[in-house]
Amino acid sequence: MATVSETRQGRFSSERYSRQVLFAGIGEAGQEKLRAAHVAIVGCGATGAAAASLVARAGVGKLTLIDRDFVEESNLQRQVLFDEADARDCLPKAEAARRKIALFNSEVTVEPHVADLTPGNIHELLAGAELVLDATDNFETRYLVNDYAVEQAKAWIYSAAVGAYAATMNILPGETACLACIFPEPPTGTVETCDTAGILNSAVNLAASLAVTEALKLIVGARERVRRTLLSCDLWVNEWSAVSAAKPRAGCEVCEKRNLRHLRGEGRPHITLCGRNSVQIHEHGRPVDFKELEARLRPHGNVRSNSMLLRFERGEHTLTVFADGRAIIQGTTDVGAARTLYARYIGS
């Protein structure tokens, strides 16, 4: 015999998703597939929090959330799962997200991992998930996810947002283009990030909404409805573009030649601890324009440069950047933290 709470939960479940089940694309069968699904979200910042909120409310049964960062006040403008108390307590984002999701959908199982996704842990962290949503802020991790997805023949969805710009693409290994088909090389030089160019919360939520809609299609099996383009838009200047990603590119190093160097750990710049309380990132293929970078970093801290190097001080950290992209980050011995600072202020 069902207990009172089980009965209540059962009734609650059918009411909870009633408007979604009414939608012809989902239906009862689709809702059941969502309940049985396991989705991983890599990164739990703005895009990740918005995506996690949407998939959890939609009733995806199990979520893996991976993020190494903690909640800060400057996140609250756009990171929909966090509040002022989370920022005051410096709660890790993955755990803060788990707690918030439990408040609005206790039927979802959330596995938070306070970790950097690396070649060493990606197989373990993503093993159970049938679909991976990218909500990172850097190409290094995206190429790693791309290698893994191609190796495992697992679908993933690329999403990006910065300024008023949002972009997303579905990658179905063996069927569509992979990330390396479209972007054989990462953006060169220093790139704009949310910490230098700012970001509109609407751009982030749009990227997450587009990605989660595609995730729902994949989970319920509406594969013929899945978008096969790299879709991007700049909401401020009203520009939209869609580039076909329907077919793999001939000669692609990743999905055709299976050269999975990011999965082998070869795509990451070597990082060493150096001296007391500093970390060196041995990037060497990222030409840096000191004048341009100095102008970009000026609003964010103390910055000065000469012909040899640029030095940027912010809070307890000092970043010293050399002309080929190599950097020494003083004020930490945490390799992951150093990597995050580099991705935020120099590029990823």
The site that binds Zn ion (CB under 5 A) totals a number of residues, namely 6
Distance of CA 74 to the CA centre of its chain: 18
Shortest distance (Å) from residue 182 CB to Zn ion: 8
Closest approach of Zn ion to the CB of residue 125, in Å: 23
d(CA 218, CA 172): 10
Return d(Cα 33, Cα 122) in angstroms, integer. 25
Q: Given the rule CB under 5 A, which of 16-24, 90-98, 250-258, 278-286 is the region that contacts Zn ion?
A: 250-258
Which is nearer to Zn ion, 8 or 247 (by Cβ)?
Answer: 247
Binding mask 176-205 for Zn ion (x = CB under 5 A): --x-xx------------------------
Where in 291-320 is the site for Zn ion (CB under 5 A)? none
Which helix or strand (DSSP H or E) is residue 297 part of? helix 290-297
| Separation of alpha carbons 129 and 131, rounded Å | 5
Q: What are phi and psi of 24, to 5 degrees?
A: -60, -35
Least Å distance, CB 335 to Zn ion, is 29
CB nearer Zn ion, residue 56 or residue 179: 179
| Residues within window 67-106 making contact with Zn ion, judged by CB under 5 A | none
Largest CA distance in the chain: 78
The letter for the amino acid at 146 is N
Q: How far is the CB of 173 from Zn ion (least distance, A)?
A: 8
**Minimum gap (Å) between residue 247 Cβ and Zn ion:** 10
Whose tokens are 């802020």? That residue is 137
User: Which range touches Zn ion (CB under 5 A), out of 18-26, 45-53, 251-259, 330-338?
Assistant: 251-259
Asked if 255 touches Zn ion (CB under 5 A), the answer is: yes
The answer to whether 317 touches 161, Cβ cutoff 8 Å, is: no
Q: Which of these, 39, 265, 230, 278, lies nearest to 144 by C-alpha position?
A: 265
The footprint of Zn ion (CB under 5 A) covers 178, 180-181, 252, 254-255
